[in-house]
Chains A and B, each alone.
Chain A
Amino acid sequence: MYDLIVIGGGPGGYLAAQRAGENGLNTLLIEKNKLGGVCLNEGCIPSKAFLNSAKIFDQAKNSSVFGVTTEKAAIDQSAVVSRKNKVVKALVSGVGAAMKAAKVTVKYGTGVIAGRDADGVISVYADEEKFETKRLIIATGSEIVIPPIPGVSEGLKDGTVITSREILDLETIPETMTIVGAGVIGLEMASYFQMCGCKVTVVEMLDHIAGNIDREMSSLLQKTYEKRGIEFNLNCKVTKAGGGFVEIDDAGITRKIPAERVLMSVGRRPVIKGFGLESIGVYTEHGRIVADAQGRTNVPGVFAIGDANGVWMLAHAAYREAEVAVNTILGKKDTMRYDAMPSVIYTNPEMAFVGETEETCREKGIAYKKRELPMGYSGRYLAENDVVEGKIKVLFDESTNRMIGCHMVGSYASEIILSATIMVETQMRVEDMKEIIFPHPTVGEIIREVL
């Protein structure tokens, strides 16, 4: 009998297994596909590999303002894909090595839960083989949502409609592309293909892009994109897609947009079906496994972490949840907090944020102070960027003077957000922040400037 079985080898699952193994638990990790899960194989990493290529291409094309001349800068999409594959392979095998080092047994196959007996022993099958444990971590991740739009299922077959999975293996840059859904994944791909010279149109049902982020920042991001040539159709519903075009309902008027490829990126949903959750009575609600701040489900000894619990569908959320769950198993008190959860959109320019937005402050009735600055206040930013399109906005709790939110658009935002995250998580007061020395010149200095 294993001390712990983990189902799913994505960021949540593999880190949980690794930490458990490191702490001496006899651990089995069951993965039906590849270690690293969505994040390494078809998510965070490959998309960032893509985007980096495009950013270099973009800089090369516009290098003259910096006094650099390049000739015939071009993007070789198949080379981008093969480089991405190399990166992924390296990282995946790195995870395998980490499992070995932590003495985690990895079993490839589909894990299926088959019941819990009177002594609390849970049976789990990996394909035909049966394993037993009293503790189970479910880290089965999430899957792509395909809305039932006419034309989509045919389009998926003939390749005119694709998802975030296929797009990362596209060997050519299409002339035109329509992206359905202006969430993080849609925007990142929009940014990538725009930079690569494709005519990109985004269709979004809501009246704003990028979901629940700070509304001012999302419109700033949208404006920047529009300047770069991406077309946005907000408040529009796709009524038909595939076969070279997308048909949208724009305030009652049907419009047809040419689209060599259509990217369906309307969202992801937790994987909760088909692997025997019901056999042990794990409670699910609104399509997700309900877990508490320790990752515990309603069934003793059974935890749900990562995308599967649907709280924050991000790799770093999964990482932290994995640690909290394993600590709880080890008898160490640990609690998952989501107040300082950073997010990044790796577009060009980047956008990053953490904590409360003005909208959530108003919703929760938090009295806040706001400070903002254009990114150009950073010397380095000015030195390195031609157009000053970035901005930082910081929110403080009026009564405690603590930072409760930080929102940025601009290069390096993805890296700078870590400092802000630390400040929010540790509930630093402005006075304390002011004592921190920022290296100069860095774009991160913008935080000192804005205080």
Chain B
Amino acid sequence: MPKQLPIDPAEIRKSGWITFEKIPVNQYKKDVADESKNFSKKDFLRIYRDMRMIREFESMLLSIKTTNSYNGLEYNNPGPAHLSMGQEAAAVGQAYLLTPDDYIFGSHRSHGEILAKGLSAINLLNDKELLAVMEGFLDGNTFRVVEDSNKGRDISVKDLGIEFLIYGALAEIFAKDTGFHRGLGGSMHAFFLPFGIYPNNAIVGGSGTISTGSALYKKINRKPGIVICNIGDGSLGRGPVWEAMSLAAMDQFRTLWEGDMKGGLPIMYNIMNNQYAMGGQTRGETMGYDFAARIGAGVNIEQMHAERIDGYNPLAVIDAMKRKLKILKDKKGPVFLDTVTYRYSGHSPSDADSYRTPEEKKAWEEVDSIAAFRKELTEAKILTDAQFDEIDENVVATITKAVSLAIDPVVSPRMDLVQNPGAIEKLMFSNGRIPSMDTAKPDMLQKREDNLRVQQISRKERFAFDAEGKAVSKNRVFQLRDALFEAILDKFYEDPTLVAYGEENRDWGGAFAVYRGLTEAVPYHRLFNTPISEAAIVGSAVGYAMSGGRALVELMYADFLGCAGDEVFNQLPKWQAMSAGLVKMPVVLRVSIGSKYGAQHSQDWTSLCTHIPGLKVVFPVTPYDAKGLMTTALNGTDPVVFFESQRIYDIGEQFHEGGVPTESYEIPFGEPDVKRPGKDLTILTIGATLYRALEAAKIFNEQYGIDVEVIDARTLVPFNYEKVVESVKKTGKIIVAGDSCERGGYLNDVARNIGTFCFDYLDAPVAVVGSRNWITPCHELENEFFPQPGWFIDVFHEQIQPIAGYVALESFTEVELMRRSRLGV
């Protein structure tokens, strides 16, 4: 697409071969004696301790899950526990060289990775830093428990740190208010940002896209450190993981991004290859890659520097990490590691191991990483059994103490939703207003006033009608797409972290010409085209925002929301609350509702989004509202699904007196707007249906003497009903209308609420006009599908008040609604 990369047929059609480099498989061949010059005894002991700590932690959880007790302590933990006994060397080896600036993201089976990374960070931080982290974390609530338990005892800050880590993680797993995110994440979502431990994810492969976004953040904002995505071998079957790797491996990082931005993404996809995905055996049964590492060869020329390493030997893992970190720091990422490991425990405590033999398990236990490591070191006479035994004792004591604290309901209470009913509610949105997420100077290519589109727009009429009330022609009027452009351009000059990406965002100017002119103003690293990877587009925005930036991503057609289903429904909306407010999610997701493009390109999916707790949903349909709401969205700290309609990108401002202001302004979310005052009937619209309702209002008025008040919802979540209730008190009648398919839609929510709020004022039940529960037919048949002006009269006649002499065309009779419902159409 970029003109600077011509596509030459002679080159493309040339004959030849694709060759691959050999992919190393377990090439590490050293023993402890060889390594003893690289590691001190203390280092070896620390590696051992960390592995033992994880083993004990997981064994404790298994014991609690299966026997409700550990070391004499009784507790019932109903929540999940996907344990990782057997995988300790892989986790500890990985974390060994990482710093708190390096981020890890995980899976449902990441307790080990969290502890390893935490222990490594504690080891690196000096006492002052460590204390600052612990004291500052969640008002010191977690730290206080650990501190109090050590009153009068002489304990080092590092040991305090270890107790803090184990306790905080365990309290989180036990869903306690003192946990790392107040028990709102739990076992599969635990993390601790100050140590560079980013969220685990209960969605298999969910971290694929998110970690990629985090790496984008680091690169684009010149932040130190690298990002590791820890996912299982099973996750390689998931599309979003492939999408994430595609995004991470884009050629443009090297071909088109400029200056210090040139170069690969600092990300490593580390496959914790424990051979199983629940009961499915990836190699030999459910996948075809033979070696997971082979996948790297399919992604880019560097084959993602892929390698299989022995995750049963911590030193082999450290060796690999050393080499791979260098590659990442040299801007040659992404990197792919196939870390061989094995879990002794079942997938979860309910797993009956019906898919593997005891012999297989035993064979792995015989080469157990912890035992083997200890044996090698004692046999090489580097360390003694006594030294190891002391560690073992300490580990058991540490875990036992953490359990006793975490299960104590006084010391570690659960979040109290009775005393404090708003505790979760207030975490659903951060409701912040942070115009700029960083203090750096925004990278831009030109001055605002030099931009051609800015200049063109300055010559446009900012109101749809001239002084005589005549309509201004389409090419002279300031259009809705111009309004969006203005709000977005302003933000590019204000917030250095703002990035906009999606398909066809650069050069093409966005599929609907909203971004025309941006290519000239914004450098590549802030505005770029992505692979056709909707899941990765949204998921990476989640990671980008979670790491501290602001992302404006676009899915082109609303219909493609399904391709990013997990990212839109599970990731984008949930992390603010699951993190107890520790992460912010300033992401604006633009989706456009198609027109004239049939069944898979014309769907209003606002209702899918309003259904999801944690998403703000807006749908402006006038230039004034579009600019104001986009500005609000871009200043905020919450995820916003920003709906647009392709029917009206070229529409001018018909309502706001004085037209669309040139300066920046905000429209608060949640406030509907009366677009036409009236006294006999209220019509509340969502989206572009506004214009059809206005046509209907004209017919009502001219032909039936009914004076209609038309209210434009503008925002769906949040939504303030006051104006609507006020209107219904006056009119006693209301129709709610929009283009989404009627069944299960947000329109019905609104209707139900108005019915409740206004029951005594209503002359008839609230009428709902949505699209038919069909496929969207071709444009030529759309009038039978989308609400038309006449439908408002029809529904009024059939459901609200019969109009003498009127016969409806579209059926809204009770029998018809029942019939459709019975048939599911």
Residues of chain A touching chain B, judged by Cβ–Cβ distance below 8 Å, are 118-120, 134-135, 283, 290-293, 296-301, 328-333
Contact = CB atoms under 8 A, between A and B. Distances in A.
Given A297-B813, A300-B794, A301-B808, 7 more contacts: A290-B815, A298-B815, A300-B812, A331-B801, A331-B805, A333-B801, A333-B802
Contacts, number: 56
A426 to B, nearest CB: 24
Nearest to A300: B808
Contact of B819 (A290, A328, A330): A290
A120 B815 CA distance: 18
B811 interface: yes
Residue in A135, A296, A299, A332 whose Cβ sees the most chain B Cβ within 10 Å: A296
B818 interface: yes
Contacts of B814: 292-293, 296
B813 A292 contact: yes
Contacts of A120: 807-809
Interface residues of B, number: 20
Contacts of A301: 807-808
A162 B804 CA distance: 47
A302 to B, nearest CB: 9
Interface string B64-105: 000000000000000000000000000000000000000000
A332 B805 CA distance: 11
Given A120-B808, A134-B807, A135-B807, A291 B794 contact: no
15 contacts: A118-B809, A120-B807, A283-B819, A291-B815, A292-B815, A296-B813, A298-B811, A298-B816, A299-B813, A300-B798, A300-B812, A330-B804, A331-B801, A331-B804, A331-B805
Nearest to B822: A285
A297 B808 contact: no
Interface in B173-212: none
A329 B818 CA distance: 21
B376 to A, nearest CB: 79
The main secondary structure of chain B at its interface with chain A is loop
A331 B815 contact: no
B810 interface: yes
Interface string B786-825: 0000000010001001111111111111111011000000
A444 to B, nearest CB: 39
B733 to A, nearest CB: 13
A3 to B, nearest CB: 8
B52 to A, nearest CB: 67
Contacts of B815: 283, 290-292, 296-298
A292 B801 CA distance: 15
B813 A300 contact: yes
A290 B820 CA distance: 13
Contacts of B813: 292, 296-300
A193 B10 CA distance: 104
Closest 8 CB pairs of A and B: A331-B804, A298-B816, A300-B808, A134-B807, A292-B814, A301-B807, A298-B815, A296-B813
Contacts of A118: 809
B811 A300 contact: yes
A329 B794 CA distance: 13
A283 B819 CA distance: 7
A262 B804 CA distance: 51
A299 B810 CA distance: 8
Nearest to A134: B807
Contacts of A299: 811, 813, 816
B818 A290 contact: yes
A331 B818 CA distance: 23
B705 to A, nearest CB: 13
A135 B805 CA distance: 10
Residue in A290, A298, A330 whose Cβ sees the most chain B Cβ within 10 Å: A298
Residue in A283, A291, A299 whose Cβ sees the most chain B Cβ within 10 Å: A283
Contacts of A297: 813, 815-816
B763 to A, nearest CB: 10
B819 A298 contact: yes
Contact of A331 (B803, B808, B810, B816): B803
A134 B816 CA distance: 17
A118 B806 CA distance: 15
Contacts of B798: 296, 300
Residue in A119, A292, A297, A300 whose Cβ sees the most chain B Cβ within 10 Å: A300
A85 B658 CA distance: 82
Contacts of B794: 300
A97 to B, nearest CB: 28
Nearest to B806: A331
B802 A328 contact: yes
Contacts of B801: 331, 333
B51 to A, nearest CB: 68
